Structure 1
Amino acid sequence: MEGLDGKYEEEVTLTVEEFRSAIEERKGRGSRVLVLPGCLMAAVFGFVVDVPMITFLVIYKAPFMLFKGWQRLVEDLVGRSGPFLETVCVPFAGFLILLWPFVVLLAMLAGILSSIGYGVYAAVVAYQENSTKKGLLFAVASVSLFDEQTNDFLYLQEGSCFPRPKYREGVSNSSQLLPLKGLHEQLDAVHNKRQLMKTPSQKIKELKAVMVWDNFFKGCERTGEEHLTDSAIGILDLEEWQQSKSKIINIGIPACTFLQCFLQSIKSGSAGFLMSTKTPHYLEIVYIAYKNQFVLVHSLTTIHVISGDNVEITNLNRPEGRVFDWLFEPMCVMKEQIRSLKLSESEELYFCKLALYCGDMQRVEAWQNGGAAPDNEITRAQMDGICRSLIALAIFFKLWGGKLEKIKKTEAPEPPGAWPVIGHILQLAGRGPFFRLLGDMADKHGPIFKLRFGMCSTVIVSDWKIAKECFTTNDKVLASRPLSAASKYMGYNYAMFALTPYGSYWRAMRKIATFELLSNTRLEMLKHFRVTEINTCTKELYQLWVKNASKPVMVKMEQWFSNLTYNMVFLMVTGKRYIGTTNDNDKVEAQKYQKALIQSVRLVELSAAPESFPFLDYVDIGGYKKAMKKINTELDSVSSMWVKEHRQKRQHRVSGEGDKDFIDVMITILEGATELSDYDPDTIIKATILAIFLGGTDTTTVTLLWMLSLVLNNRDVVEKARDEMDNYIGRERQVEEADITNLPYLQAILKESMRLYPGSPLLLPHEAMENCTIGGFNVTAGTRVMVNAWKIQRDPRVWSDPLEFRPERFLTSHVDVNVRGQHFELIPFGSGRRSCPGITFALQVMQLTIARLIHGFEMTTPADMPVDMTPQNAGVTMSRETPLEVLFAPRLPLHLYE
């Protein structure tokens, strides 16, 4: 038809096509009359095959529908979502739980009746396809169709095990999802934002709506869990969200999940959106060592989860329906808007904060996730607009209540390998120092995880931010101690306030210890005891040097520090010096009490495992209860004599004479405190004496040993400390307590020593008195909580070169950090209500002791060998594995030692 214009050619072509169609239609009418008998046969065959098979499937799946429905209804009832969202609907909607079995019966009846329709419809397929064979094939395929549809509805395994032959021309009944192959190998292409190539042979199957929504809901759960863990949001945020019934938004977890999906899709070069079992996460690099599926994409502060399970949803395979018709196009527009912004990594992190906090700039600025707002005001305005669109997109979904309730109920991760009944005991036994083992587990399982010791659950905290939450937000909830055999049999039936559970008695005793026994005023009154003992001990070192013909004398420092601290506590508690005295009776008493104390600490360690099984409380496994009772008898005999002596002395005391020691103070206080508790006054006094000895001797000795070991291995530190003291004090007098505040480098040595080697690397266990949330995880009442101070104080995110001994850090980067519990990155004495009440006393003793040794003596090790810094494998305190021996020689004028 050369020479004709385009319009005429099109009209002619259409006319020819209509003509051909009319001819085919006339032929089809005649041929389809011949297929009617085949249609009848297909209907009969479909009825015979489909009715029994579908009936079988209905009966088989009815229990799944019954119990899954009950489960979902109960979850909605607890989470106040779904039909239970509005309070007024709860009484009526509650009947659904009772009537659900009848609903299942009706569904079964509908399913059986539908089998007749499936069978008869085989005739329709045979007529439409003009083929009896196609009708018969549909009768077979309909069983698979019904099976797959019901599997989707009941959240069972996707697909069907029944055959599905092809029963229509031009339609694929079975295809595979479109995975993104080789994503790990194509990271370079991802960075360059190239389009991912799809293999022509791969067929795109339409995704099911249930798959899309389920994937998105799981993404919201994961996003919420991670932000709870990072302390970006709190439980109150989730509760306010639920109570708002989607009318007022405080947090944008759905919006943030949408945004993360968009960003991941843009980075991968996807033409649509990526769905995966994981969504992009933004976590600090220190927590990814144990997650091998994570791939580092950008800087050390951002990681993106890339999994082989990624599936691309595009306009070709998206689910059908009005919801997706309305939803998909706006999402594509927003994605392109985000792509056009060309955001940097820090701007993407800021964008995520903006979506999470719904534009609350105060909270956006408070959360330091590495994000920074763009400098361009137009870009910032565009980001704000997109965030509002994302929030508007997510606000209409009213199912988040139940999902966020699941997030709130998330428990801390539990390492695998726990045995029935005994839990993780076998995994932890005999594998090195306990605190170090828990630190290694924190590297693998995160900063907070849960262990099971027998029947007892214990949450381990290894991050300073989570520790801060424990000692501030949850301080009162975690103020109790677990009941223990040591506290019962050696602590005078829980009268020793350091181990007694939280209650009125503990509060009263804590007040007495803090404001009477260990207050700054009381310690100043008893200052002469400390100074006298240190003078005596340093004089003994000088005398040993003299006896050694003025040659450096070797001293076993563990014994020397132990005698020093015990004598100091003896003086403050009883007013007498027991160790090194010429009085044989006093010496025997001191040795007896000291030996019993050492044995009591060992028994606490041995009794830990049996106490994990409460049902064995009436069985004395290993005889440790009998041993504890024996130790208590020995301790009680000595302390009872001390109390008796003090009461006798008080009868002859001159009127107006003040209390001389702790026992005098306790007697005075308890004389008028008749309603303090059910314990008699003498029991309270003896239990308090025991608590002071246990808390003030062993840990102080251990800390002094590690401090001296560190300075001996770092001679430059010794020289700097001596220069500081020589410049301020000179060499014509010894260091006094009043000088310590003017010796900042000496104080830095103590802080750095306690950072690396805290006396108690694991703080004493706390017990949750009620349900609470720690680090974003739910902790039930009765759960024990242990803080790994050793791990926290070696955190590389807080301390540069954390394993190096550098006191200078406390004069520069950490100049304001102290050890009194206000700075949670350094908590050797604990923090909160249960912190050590004797912090001031311990610091006074340790600072003056180490100052006297560094300033007053030349110190070396035998053969100038480096000091072994290996800790013992077991113990409540971090004791040294090998004894510390030091050679001493005086460096000041000799008359100062006499």
Structure 2
Amino acid sequence: MENLMLYLFLSLIIFISALKFLVKPSINLPPSPPFSLPIIGHLYLLKRPIHQTLQKLSKKYGHVFSLRLGSQLVVVVSSPSAVKECFTVNDITLANRPQTNITKHLTYNNTIFSASSYGDHWRDLRRISTIEIFSTTRLNMFLEIRKDEIKRLLGKLCGISSDDFASVEMGSMFSKLSSNIVMRMVTGKRFYGEDVLDAEQAKEFRDIVKQVMENCGSYDSSSILLLNWIDITGYEKRIIELGQRNDQFLQGLIDEHRNQKEEGRNTMIDHLLSLQESQLDCMSDQVIKGLIMVILLAGTDTVAVTMEWALSHLLNNPDVLNNARIELDSIVGQGQLVDESDLSKLSYLQGIIYETLRLNPAAPLLVPHYASKNCSIAGYEIPRDTMILINAWAIHRDPNIWEDATTFEPKRYKNRNVDELLYKLIPFGVGRRACPGVGMAHRVVGLALASLIQCFEWKRVNRELVDMAEGVGLTMPRAHPLQAMCKSRPIMERVFI
């Protein structure tokens, strides 16, 4: 009897799904691939890397096209004009985020800043993030942390390659650098390498980060109604357990700071707890935990992969690397380490960073948007509850927008105001839901990259170009960790005496 009921239930679901996909909509939706299968829709078309697959589909169906991913209607946008329309005319309409199993269980039921629906709660979080976390004043307070962690990296590389070129694996080094900078800002403690105060706590943090990145980079079955109900793959169970681990870890950090106050300690948690005393209505422990998650997402993996891609491009373009070194030696010299205050003078270095963000954005598909009501994009009708995907990777490589679109050319930004490239260069998103951590990212990437160029000679491990294949993950990592050859320059002897 139970088998018969299950059979009838599955048959009903398949029938309803088939009927839904066979009936043509009466509204003017963006063009779509013709074969949408029952239950899964166009999911069978999505091959990894997904942003590359969507770029190929856009060449066939246009810069604004639609897909059915399970029960979810998705509109993919890959032109600056359509992006502009999304975030000017429709900015409030598209200010929501889709709700999935990931966001439900990892973001406190869609209440953290990056996942929250547009409204009063989100505006409170944006105010706190802008003023209390990512403001220029707040970031300046942590300057010494950034400088110290970068000097630690330089010292480690010098120990490996002081006399001659030596091979180093830079992916893990960049990951440790960015993670330690952020965790020292948040907690006052290092979680990687030397001077780790609590080995068990650090191990737990590293494992949680690894699990979050792996699970967020995999497919969320929420859009397939049947799979979402019965959880055949066990995906939702894993996410629930991961969310509970993450919550316990973050609560432990808060309790530790609340119970062990140290005079003169300057951390993000200390600051948020002090705000809690006067703003309890909008600064609960859950809100603080959510803000910590935003800091981690905005400042760790995204920064690390950007530095790794940047150095990969420099190794494949030794003339660019030499030009950057000449600029640094001319403006900063070899008598002192480059400082954050020098970055605004290093226009060629800034071009290298922008070009890296163009060709290898850490978020090739911007965080999805969700239509709160019917609207129109590029003349097409977009129904309420449609997910909007912006393919930044495709826009950044469009030959109709960029000359020699796939060539790494920092000079293209010379004497050019980057603000003029709005809607064409969007690695951090655009509109009211743009990433709030852009200032922090530019500081860390800029200072780290400038320091590595100033202090070391770099070359490839052999004559072959560095493989630029993309891996699978939330922040578009390299397919293989970057291996490079480095040798200390004379400045290292003067700086590290």
Residue identity opposite 2:57 in structure 1: M
2:388 matched to 1:785? yes
From 835, 839, 842, the counterpart of 2:434: 835
Cα deviation for residue 490 of structure 1 reads 1.8
Query: Structure 2: how far apart are the matches of 1:748 and 1:526?
Result: 25
Query: Structure 2: how far apart are the matches of 1:592 and 1:477?
Result: 39
Matches within 5 A, 1:538-617: 538-546=154-162, 550-583=163-196, 586-608=198-220, 610-617=221-228
2:266: which partner in 1? 660
From 328, 331, 346, the counterpart of 1:725: 328
Partner-residue secondary structure (3-state), 1:500: coil
Residue identity opposite 1:859 in structure 2: W
State, as a whole percentage, how many aligned pairs show the same letter: 37
Cα deviation for residue 607 of structure 1 reads 4.2
Residues 334-376 of structure 1: CA deviation (Å, up to 9, x unaligned)? xxxxxxxxxxxxxxxxxxxxxxxxxxxxxxxxxxxxxxxxxxx
In structure 2, runs of 5+ residues without a counterpart are 1-25
In structure 1, runs of 5+ residues without a counterpart are 1-407
Residue identity opposite 1:422 in structure 2: I
Query: Structure 1: how far apart are the matches of 2:232 and 2:110?
Result: 21
Query: Is contact 1:538-1:897 (8 Å) kept?
Result: no
2:139: which partner in 1? 523
2:28 matched to 1:410? yes
Query: Structure 2: how far apart are the matches of 1:897 and 1:709?
Result: 26
1:338: which partner in 2? none
Residues 588-638 of structure 1: CA deviation (Å, up to 9, x unaligned)? 322321221121122123342x11124544422311222122222332333
Query: Is contact 1:483-1:501 (8 Å) kept?
Result: no
From 152, 169, 172, the counterpart of 1:536: 152
TM-score under structure 2 length normalisation: 0.91
2:246 matched to 1:635? yes
Query: Structure 2: how far apart are the matches of 1:856 and 1:716?
Result: 17
1:875: which partner in 2? 473
2:495 matched to 1:884? no
Query: Structure 2: how far apart are the matches of 1:720 and 1:607?
Result: 42
Query: Structure 1: how far apart are the matches of 2:366 and 2:114?
Result: 12
Query: Is contact 1:606-1:624 (8 Å) kept?
Result: no
Partner-residue secondary structure (3-state), 1:862: coil
Query: Is contact 1:580-1:587 (8 Å) kept?
Result: no
Residue identity opposite 1:600 in structure 2: V
2:11: which partner in 1? none
From 116, 138, 150, the counterpart of 1:500: 116
1:759: which partner in 2? 362
From 802, 808, 824, the counterpart of 2:411: 808
Query: Is contact 1:423-1:455 (8 Å) kept?
Result: yes
Query: Structure 1: how far apart are the matches of 2:226 and 2:117?
Result: 20
From 26, 33, 40, the counterpart of 1:422: 40
Cα deviation for residue 855 of structure 1 reads 1.2
Query: Structure 1: how far apart are the matches of 2:240 and 2:86?
Result: 34
2:351 matched to 1:748? yes
Matches within 5 A, 1:135-534: 409-428=27-46, 431-534=47-150
Query: Structure 2: how far apart are the matches of 1:731 and 1:738?
Result: 16
2:433 matched to 1:817? no
Cα deviation for residue 789 of structure 1 reads 0.2
Partner-residue secondary structure (3-state), 1:719: helix
Query: Is contact 1:464-1:824 (8 Å) kept?
Result: yes
Query: Structure 1: how far apart are the matches of 2:458 and 2:143?
Result: 27
Query: Is contact 1:751-1:818 (8 Å) kept?
Result: no
Partner-residue secondary structure (3-state), 1:863: coil
Query: Is contact 1:579-1:587 (8 Å) kept?
Result: no
Distance 1:414 1:838, change over 3 A: same
Partner-residue secondary structure (3-state), 2:462: helix
Cα deviation for residue 667 of structure 1 reads 1.1
From 845, 848, 851, the counterpart of 2:450: 851
Query: Is contact 1:818-1:826 (8 Å) kept?
Result: no
Count of matched residue positions in the alignment of Structure 1 and Structure 2: 471
Query: Structure 2: how far apart are the matches of 1:665 and 1:614?
Result: 43
Query: Is contact 1:565-1:697 (8 Å) kept?
Result: yes
Query: Is contact 1:552-1:888 (8 Å) kept?
Result: yes
Partner-residue secondary structure (3-state), 2:65: strand
Cα deviation for residue 745 of structure 1 reads 0.5
Cα deviation for residue 409 of structure 1 reads 4.6
Runs of 4+, deviation exceeding 3 Å = 614-618
Query: Structure 1: how far apart are the matches of 2:496 and 2:87?
Result: 45
Query: Is contact 1:702-1:877 (8 Å) kept?
Result: yes
Q: Decide which structure has the larger Cα Rg and report it.
A: 1
Partner-residue secondary structure (3-state), 1:496: coil
2:224 matched to 1:625? no
Query: Structure 1: how far apart are the matches of 2:218 and 2:350?
Result: 36
1:670: which partner in 2? 276
Cα deviation for residue 553 of structure 1 reads 2.3
2:302: which partner in 1? 699
Query: Is contact 2:188-2:267 (8 Å) kept?
Result: yes
Residue identity opposite 1:606 in structure 2: S
Residues 182-231 of structure 1: CA deviation (Å, up to 9, x unaligned)? xxxxxxxxxxxxxxxxxxxxxxxxxxxxxxxxxxxxxxxxxxxxxxxxxx
Residues 304-343 of structure 1: CA deviation (Å, up to 9, x unaligned)? xxxxxxxxxxxxxxxxxxxxxxxxxxxxxxxxxxxxxxxx
Residue identity opposite 1:807 in structure 2: P
Cα deviation for residue 832 of structure 1 reads 0.8
Query: Is contact 1:565-1:700 (8 Å) kept?
Result: yes
Higher relative contact order (CA 8 A, sep 6+): 2
Residue identity opposite 2:461 in structure 1: P
Partner-residue secondary structure (3-state), 1:606: coil
Query: Structure 2: how far apart are the matches of 1:845 and 1:791?
Result: 26
Query: Structure 1: how far apart are the matches of 2:43 and 2:445?
Result: 36
2:307 matched to 1:689? no
Query: Structure 2: how far apart are the matches of 1:611 and 1:695?
Result: 25
Residue identity opposite 1:766 in structure 2: H
Cα deviation for residue 505 of structure 1 reads 1.5
Residue identity opposite 1:448 in structure 2: V
